[in-house]
């Protein structure tokens, strides 16, 4: 087992991971709720970049419903960022799960 070769491969993988993380930060995913009544866009760093709420679902008498849809859209977007990250990082790590990614 050549330790230097192994260390070099690990350094190359680290550079690839850093490049992919930077690329992911610029990607966007969308989460929806209420059959598209609420749409939330999030980047690869989990920052919300856009939120669209259909005015028809804004009912002052039922704010709880709107809050539930906002949370559902947010959670859907988070799940989509996680899927995207897993897919993109899997191409580098060969499907191996590495902590912190």
The three-state DSSP-derived secondary structure of 6-50 is HHHHHHHHHHHHHHHHHHHHHCEEEEEECCCCEEEEEECCCCEEE
Q: Which domain holds residue 87?
A: 46-94
Q: What is the dihedral of CA 16, 18, 22, 25, to 10 degrees?
A: 110
What lies within 8 Å, CB to CB, of 58 at 6+ separation is 66
| Range with lowest mean pLDDT among 20-24, 61-65, 66-70, 90-94 | 90-94
Q: Is residue 38 part of a domain?
A: no
Residue 13 lies in a domain: no
Could you tell me if residue 53 is inside a domain? yes
Give the per-residue pLDDT at 99: 55
Question: Is residue 22 one of the residues assigned to a domain?
Answer: no
Any domain includes 58: yes
Count Cβ atoms below 10 Å from residue 14 Cβ, excluding itself: 11
Q: How far apart are the first and last CA of the chain?
A: 27
CA 63 to CA 58: how far, in whole Å? 7
| 7-55 residue pLDDT tens | 998 899 889 988 988 988 899 999 999 999 999 999 998 999 999 999 9
Please check the confidence at residue 80 and state whether its pLDDT lies above 60: yes
Question: Residue 67 falls within a domain, yes or no?
Answer: yes
Looking at the structure of the chain, the number of domains it has is: 1
pLDDT digits (tens, 9 = 90+) for 84-100: 988 888 888 776 655 55
39 occurs within a structural domain: no
């Amino acid at each position: 087992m050549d330790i230097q070769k192994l260390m070099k491969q690990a350094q190359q993988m680290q550079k690839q991971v850093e490049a992919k993380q930077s690329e992911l930060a610029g990607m966007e995913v969308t989460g929806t709720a209420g059959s598209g009544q609420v749409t939330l866009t999030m980047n690869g760093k989990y920052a919300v970049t856009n939120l669209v709420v259909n005015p028809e679902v804004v009912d002052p008498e039922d704010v709880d419903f709107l809050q539930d849809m906002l949370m559902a859209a947010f959670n859907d977007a988070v799940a989509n960022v996680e899927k995207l990250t897993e897919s993109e990082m899997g191409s580098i790590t060969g499907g191996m799960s590495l902590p912190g990614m």
